[in-house]
Amino acid sequence: MHPDARRLNRWSWIFIAAGTARTLIFPVIGATVVSGGVLLARLDLLSLIFIVPALVYAVIKQKVYNYRFTESELVVRDGLLTRNVRHISYERIHNVTLVRNPFHRMLGLVTARVETAAGGKPEALLRVLSLEAAEELRRYTLGEQEETTSTDAPLLQVPDRELVRLGLISNRGFLVVAVVLGGVSQTQWWDQDWAAILEKVRARAPEWMGWLFESWSITGGVLFGVVFALCFLVLLRLVSIGWYLVRYRGFTLQQKDNDLRAEYGLLTKVSSLIPVHRIQLVTVSVTFLHRCFGRASIDLETAGASDAGSDLSGQLATSGVHNTRQWLAPIVEAERATELLREVLPEIDIDAVEWEPIEARAVRRIVNRAAMIITPVTLIIAAVLTFTPIPLSGWYALWLPAVTLSIIWLITRRWVRRAGYALTDCAIFFRSGWLGRQISVVRFVNMQTVSMHQSPFDHRKRMASLAVDTAGAGGLGHRIRIPFLDVDIAESILKRLYVETRSTEFRW
Amino acid sequence: MVDGEEHQVDPRSVKVARIIGVPLTLLFAMVPLIAFTLGKVLRGMPTRIYLSLLGGLLVLLALFLLVAYLWPAARHRRLRYLVDEGGLRIRRGVFWRMVIWIPITRVQHTDFSQGPVQRRFGLATLTVHTAGTAGASISLEGLEYEIAKRLCEHLRPDRVTHAS
């Protein structure tokens, strides 16, 4: 071991073992359910199979793991059988995220994730460090000042009532309920004699409700359905509110020198540092529900790893989807959103840009294409109505194109009118949305390649779409992809963007 | 070469693509052929059905061979590249067309490769890597070896950084 090397905290083995246990918990629960509880009776066997090796692994890992700071890099040494030495230069480090759950706090410890542009998994996971060691890590890797120097007023603080609003706005509840329902369906809970249960309920119900249970009562069925749907919706929103209150409680965004620090979490406290120059793309979202509450959300993409997957709820919520976005502001008053963005990135002023429209011809193109699909369907329905004994004239089939096409026309017209792009001397903006609106911004320094695409339809109508590629772009979310541009305009923007990127240098 | 003019890649690349594509199509046709023949020999498939299946296969094969023969030429006709002091532009696509600009300042590294058939013709594929996501690596096939090598050198990011 190098003389300067630092070890993990002496309690590390507990947290390493807990981490292993967490990845095993679902397979174990699954195995228990499948075996019909047989495994539960053999806890001794289970512990031998899972717990002992996990503990041994944790103890060894703690002994082997060490790290040191050199002039320019963090050197992490790991691995028992295959020695693994990782050199991470401070330059490449985008973010050091500190995570503290209640156990961490009880012992005054912290888990540190060192993130680079590689994305996906953190470059190094230091589980666990004392608070002083974590401060030292941040000082070396990010050149950060001592904690006490940050006395600036926070850029944003999200009180609880705002988180409740966020829970109402967001659809996060869907994911959690879906996961829960998925688990319930595994237990075959649905395989019950529902008719018998209905009988029981009917026997207990007061007299005046009897009509609800008349066989084939349509009113009863509809009423039952509506009540069920309402309960489900309320449940969704409650879960959603709860999720946000636990995960984002006390969200605070602070400016420190040139970096941003976000802190949040009720049980698991997360403290995440975002170097401003590493922000690749920013999106301001105002969905329909946001608009009802007069709020907006701002998220951003850094080229580094995501903030997801740090705890169980995070894993549930983002399972399977690689999300590279993180919040700049989970919820903020709509009027304050652009101002906040300006405080963080002074060169980006959404209020000041002059929006250019996309081609209005796009509406006709989309409606025409929809008509091409709907026409044969209409003809088939008309034929069926005419040649079968259904007592309706074939002309009734015309209702279908009349209704659908006018709806499609209304929606696309609104979408096309509200979509637009803008170029300033340092960034490109794109906005879109039918009921709500999302605006994405990429600064020229952060653009990688610029491209123009034409489908055969685009080509025939002399249109094209324009795309800007950035580092660390996840599959999800709004980004700079401008459709339905006139091909000549698209070519000239393409050229302009190329000239802009050519003359600037990309900094990681 | 670094002239800001549009160029086509080497026309021999059409031949290369055909030399690879046509035998590959024939090879793929062998799979159903063997399956049908096994069906006939082992499972006693009626001769009439066997022959009609073979007929269908033949028609499909003719179609695919035609595509394998014509497609490389069509692709070549649409593939253009342009190199200037600051970067590389590629224009490609027969039905779905696209133009992409890659500024040298965004190039992480470049490399070029030669398949066995390409080597016979002295051709190479240039690949440019960027830090982007969708455009993380962009290839340009069918360049003459010498040109590929010079482009590879020209698009090196450190060259520009030192110059500026």
Selected residue of B100, B109, B128, B129 to mutate for chain A interface (largest A Cβ count, 10 A): B100
Evaluate if residue B100 carries a pLDDT over 90: yes
Q: Which tokens sit at B119?
A: 């080597």
Confidence of residue B32 (pLDDT cuts 50, 70, 90): very high
**Which one of B133, B138, B161 has the shortest CB-CB distance to A472?**
B133
Same-domain status, B86 and B49: no
- Alpha-carbon gap, residue A401 to A378, rounded angstroms: 7
pLDDT at A2: 80
Residues of B in contact with A508 (CB under 8 A): 131
Say whether A272 sits in a helix, a strand or coil: strand
Interface of B with A (CB under 8 A): 86-87, 89, 93, 95-106, 130-135, 138, 161
Residues of B in contact with A446 (CB under 8 A): none
- Alpha-carbon gap, residue A463 to A486, rounded angstroms: 5
pLDDT at A508: 62
Same-domain status, B28 and B88: no
Q: What is the DSSP string of A280-344?
A: EEEEEEE-HHHHHHTEEEEEEEESS--STTSSHHHHHHTTT----EEEEEEEEEHHHHHHHHHHH
Q: What is the DSSP string of chain B?
A: --SS-EEEPPTHHHHHHHHHHHHHHHHHHHHHHHHHHHHHHHH---HHHHHHHHHHHHHHHHHHHHHHHHHHHHHHHH-EEEEETTEEEEEE-SSSEEEEEEEGGGEEEEEEE--HHHHHHTEEEEEEEES-STTSEEEEEEEEHHHHHHHHHHT-HHHHHHH-
B125: domain CATH number?
A: 2.30.29.30
Say which residues have a Cβ less than 8 Å from residue A55's Cβ, sequence separation at least 6: A13, A17
The answer as to whether B122 is a domain residue is yes
Interface contact B132-A473, CB threshold 8 A = yes
Evaluate if residue A341 carries a pLDDT over 50: yes
Give pLDDT tens digits for A30-45: 776 666 666 666 667 7
Evaluate if residue A320 carries a pLDDT over 60: no
Same-domain status, B36 and B91: no
Helix (H) or strand (E) holding A7: strand A6-7
**Which one of A303, A456, A495 has the shortest CB-CB distance to B95?**
A456
Domain limit, last residue, from B59, B76, B93: B76
Give pLDDT tens digits for B46-60: 999 999 999 999 999
The answer as to whether B47 is a domain residue is yes
Same-domain status, B72 and B88: no
The answer as to whether B6 is a domain residue is no
Evaluate if residue A450 carries a pLDDT over 90: yes
Evaluate if residue A316 carries a pLDDT over 70: no
Q: In the beta sheet, which residues pair with residue B7?
A: B81
The answer as to whether B2 is a domain residue is no
Same-domain status, B22 and B94: no
Rounded to a whole number of angstroms, the distance from the CA of B106 to the nearest CA of chain A is 6
- Alpha-carbon gap, residue A408 to A366, rounded angstroms: 8
Rounded to a whole number of angstroms, the distance from the CA of A149 to the nearest CA of chain B is 35
Of A73-82, A443-452, B1-10, B139-148, the poorest mean pLDDT is in: A73-82
Residues of B in contact with A303 (CB under 8 A): 131
Same-domain status, B29 and B60: yes
pLDDT at A427: 94
Helix (H) or strand (E) holding A133: helix A131-142
Q: What is the DSSP string of A229-268?
A: HHHHHHHHHHHHHHHHHHHHTT-EEEEETTEEEEEE-SSS
**Which one of B93, B97, B105 has the shortest CB-CB distance to A504?**
B105
pLDDT at A223: 83
Cβ neighbourhood burial of A253 (10 Å; 0-12, 13-18, 19+): buried
pLDDT at A82: 79
Interface contact B131-A494, CB threshold 8 A = no
pLDDT at B159: 59
Of A151-155, A188-192, A423-427, B127-131, the poorest mean pLDDT is in: A188-192
pLDDT at B91: 96
Same-domain status, B134 and B87: yes
Instruction: Give the domain range for residue B127.
Output: 80-163
Per-residue DSSP letter, A505: -
Task: Describe the crossing of helices A12-34 and A52-64 by its angle, rounded to 10 degrees.
Answer: 150
Give pLDDT tens digits for A99-124: 888 888 888 899 988 877 655 567 78
Higher pLDDT, A138 or A181: A138
Give pLDDT tens digits for A172-217: 767 667 767 766 666 666 667 777 777 777 777 777 766 666 655 6
pLDDT at A144: 55
Taking the model in full, what pTM does it have? 0.77
Domain total in chain B: 2
CB atoms within 10 A of CB A447: 27
Evaluate if residue A310 carries a pLDDT over 50: no
Evaluate if residue B147 carries a pLDDT over 90: yes
Can you tell me which residue has the tokens 């590959």? B24
Length of chain B equals 164
Interface contact A506-B105, CB threshold 8 A = yes
The answer as to whether B4 is a domain residue is no
Q: Which tokens sit at B139?
A: 């290839």
Domain limit, last residue, from B76, B103, B127: B76
Q: For residue A57, which of A100, A14, A11, A26 has the smallest C-alpha distance?
A: A14
A473 touches chain B (CB under 8 A): yes
Same-domain status, B104 and B141: yes
- Chain B residue closest in CA terms to A324: B133
Same-domain status, B48 and B97: no
Sequence letter at residue A322: H
pLDDT at A334: 92
Same-domain status, B41 and B108: no
| A330 in Cβ contact with A156 (< 8 Å) | no
Same-domain status, B88 and B44: no
Domain limit, last residue, from B33, B49, B76: B76
Interface contact B101-A455, CB threshold 8 A = no
**Which one of A452, A474, A501 has the shortest CB-CB distance to B98?**
A452
Question: What average pLDDT does the segment B126-153 reach?
Answer: 91
pLDDT at A215: 59
**Which one of B95, B104, B134 has the shortest CB-CB distance to A473?**
B134
Rounded to a whole number of angstroms, the distance from the CA of A458 to the nearest CA of chain B is 9
| A256 in Cβ contact with A152 (< 8 Å) | yes
| A39 in Cβ contact with A46 (< 8 Å) | yes
Same-domain status, B85 and B151: yes
Mean pLDDT taken over chain A: 83
Question: What average pLDDT does the segment A453-470 reach?
Answer: 94
- Chain B residue closest in CA terms to A505: B105
